[in-house]
Each structure stands twice: as structure tokens, then as C-alpha cells.
Amino acid sequence: MINNKFIIFYCRTSISVIYTLAILKILNNKKKKILILNKNKACIHPKFIKIIIKVIKPLFHKIYYVNFNNDHIKGNLIKKILLRNKNVINTEKLAIFKKLNSLNIESYFGCGDEFDNAFFNSYKKNKYVNLCFMEHGYGNLINTIIFKPNLRNTIMYRLYKVFYFFNFLKLYPLNYKFFFGILGKNFEKNIDLYINNNKVKYIYIKNVIKEIRQLNKKIKFKSNIKKSVMINFSTLEYPKENIYDLDNLIDTTLKLINNKDYCYYTSHPRNKDKKKTILYVKRKLLKYKINLKFINYKSCKKYYLKYFQKVKYI
């Protein structure tokens, strides 16, 4: 075991890479950093990596690539647990974990997927590692707010630990110490956030947008977008009963958009009613004579930075 201490960053999405670059500025220490990228079309697109690799490579001691994509979690609670357990077992087979075991790791930044559990299971000195969670969508933040400790959760997570101890499950409720993100900017200081029934401290990454702009300059990215609005329809779902909330959300958003602005919008592959929802929202926007252009979520994975340059944030 070598004496140097390492910080590990595991990224499964493009935005995780951006967060990592911003977090490096916050840490501002001399410890060696290792970046692990999940390189495939479903996670971090190879074309995105190709665009930025020359810029980010000098920032890390080493960059490793893994290639895996977990099965989608569907079914009831038991089925979800068993499927996640299967995913962790498969992920542990990756060769990267043998390399990590030779390092003296101080901190690990992950994204909450099965790779985090596989790392925890594989790394012999896991109890000495500070686990940190990197936000990659507002769903993460919502879950930390609504899933607070209660009797049901307490019993469930204790059972997780018992089954893990007896090697019946590979899923352990990881104890993340910090939650790094930007969506909780306006949180009150006394708000309590929880992951896996454990309290976490929210760290606002204030320099993310600045990092994106600097990265755009470094890669000399050119865009024909002059003035535009990016509207994220990705998880909007058409209401089964009352349409008022969706109408109210659209009307509130429209007050912030100029009729001359060019609006880009995207969807999410897991949105069950995405076609119906987007069609409804499009009709509402077109009534106000707002120009619209659809961005396929697959294209976002290839050219993520394009949609941050000179874009008005709502």
C-alpha cells in the first residue's frame, strides 16, 4: 500500500464530469485525483469525452474508463432489491477495483449507482473512506428531502445491513457524508437531507456555471446559438385528473421568456407520458408565437456543453 492519499471521482454522466471539475477548484489540495468515466452511449458518450479529454487530462493523476450499464430498476420493492443486487455483483467483476485496492484512498465521489456499492464492497479499507454524493438530477435532491427517517425506513435499512453482514445481499446502505450540487442553492441552512436514512450535509457548488464557460473557451467550442432558452420537460407528466398545476407552471415559465427567444426543449426516456405531455406544452407555447426546437436526449449526451453556452436559465 503506497503512502500517497488519493481522491476518486466516479462519473456516470456528462454533468458529473462538469461537477467534478468545479469540485476540484473547491478542494484546492495537492492530493492525487483519479477520474473514472463510465464510457458508453447510455452514460458518458464517447464523443463528449473526445471533445474534452485534452483539457481535463492534466488535472488528474490517472483517468480510467469503465463500460457498464445497469438493468433498469422495475417491479415491486423485492424485485428492485434483487435486481440492484444482481447489478452490484456484475459491477464488482470490473478490473478497475483491483487497481483501486492498491491505493490509499481518502475520499470517494460517486453518483449513487451500483458502482458505488461495488467500490465499497471491493475496497478493503472502505471504513476509512469519506463517501460523497454528486448530484446529477433534481430527482436526487427530491429524494433526500422526502425520504426522511421513519420506522419503516429504519427497519428496512437495518435489514439491509443484516443481510449484507451474512452475505445474502451485496447492497449496503452507504453512509455518504456530503451531497454536492447546485439545485439546492436557496436551501435554508437548517433543512435536513438524508440518503439511505443517514443525514448528509449539502455543499453548494457555486462555480459550476463559471467552470462550464471556461471549459467552452478551452475547447474552443463554437455555437450558432445567440440567445435562447432551454426548457427541461424531461420529467413533466400529463396529470391524470387536474391540469391546473401544469397550466400554472407553463404560464409562470412563459412570463420569463421573450417572444423573440428561441426555445430548445428535451425529454427523458423514462417519462411514460412524454409524447402527450410535450405535445400539450408545445401547443401552449406556440400560441405565444415562441420558436421551438427539440433536442433529443441522446444528442445531449454527445454535445452536452452546447446547450450551456449563451443560454438564459429560468
Greater model confidence, 281 or 62: 62
Number of domains in the chain: 2
Greater model confidence, 282 or 299: 282
Q: Is residue 216 part of a domain?
A: no
- Of 155, 178, 209, at which residue does a domain stop? 209
Cα–Cα–Cα angle for 195, 196, 198, rounded to 5 degrees: 70
Same domain, 191 and 308: no
Q: Is residue 218 part of a domain?
A: no
Q: pLDDT at residue 11 above 80?
A: yes
Q: pLDDT at residue 148 above 60?
A: yes
What's the pLDDT score for residue 299? 52
What's the pLDDT score for residue 120? 97
Q: Chain-wide mean pLDDT for the chain?
A: 81
Q: Do strands 198-204 and 104-110 pair parallel, antiparallel, or not at all (unpaired)?
A: unpaired
Same domain, 112 and 230: no
Cα–Cα distance, 7 to 148 (Å, whole number): 29
Give Cα 144 distance to the centre of its chain.
14
Same domain, 67 and 184: yes
Same domain, 151 and 125: yes
Nearest-10 Cα torsion for 145, 146, 152, 158: -30
Nearest residue to 115 (alpha-carbon basis) of 39, 197, 38: 38
What's the pLDDT score for residue 109? 97
What's the pLDDT score for residue 88? 94
Q: Is residue 195 part of a domain?
A: yes
What's the pLDDT score for residue 159? 93
From the number of C-beta atoms within 10 Å of its C-beta (0-12, 13-18, 19+), residue 219 rates as middle
Same domain, 60 and 202: yes
pLDDT tens-digit profile of 56-115?
A: 999 999 999 999 887 666 678 888 888 899 999 999 999 999 999 999 999 999 999 999
Cα–Cα distance, 199 to 186 (Å, whole number): 19
Domain containing residue 240: 223-312
Same domain, 197 and 228: no
Q: Is residue 60 part of a domain?
A: yes
What's the pLDDT score for residue 305? 45
Q: Is residue 217 part of a domain?
A: no
Q: pLDDT at residue 310 above 60?
A: no
Greater model confidence, 189 or 164: 164
What's the pLDDT score for residue 247? 82
What's the pLDDT score for residue 298? 54
pLDDT-based confidence at 13, cuts 50/70/90? confident
Greater model confidence, 88 or 254: 88
Residues 124-146 have a mean pLDDT of: 85
Q: Is residue 215 part of a domain?
A: no
What's the pLDDT score for residue 314? 44
Same domain, 190 and 284: no
Q: pLDDT at residue 248 above 90?
A: no
Q: Is residue 117 part of a domain?
A: yes
Same domain, 198 and 235: no
- Of 209, 235, 270, at which residue does a domain stop? 209
Greater model confidence, 201 or 137: 201
pTM to 2 decimal places? 0.81
Residues 16-34 have a mean pLDDT of: 90
CATH assignment of the domain containing 125: 3.40.50
Same domain, 105 and 234: no
pLDDT more than 90, % of the chain? 39
Same domain, 203 and 227: no
Q: Is residue 275 part of a domain?
A: yes
Same domain, 146 and 236: no
- Of 182, 209, 236, at which residue does a domain stop? 209
What's the pLDDT score for residue 115? 95
Greater model confidence, 39 or 255: 39
Same domain, 38 and 78: yes
What's the pLDDT score for residue 293? 65
Whether 12 contacts 113, CB under 8 Å: yes
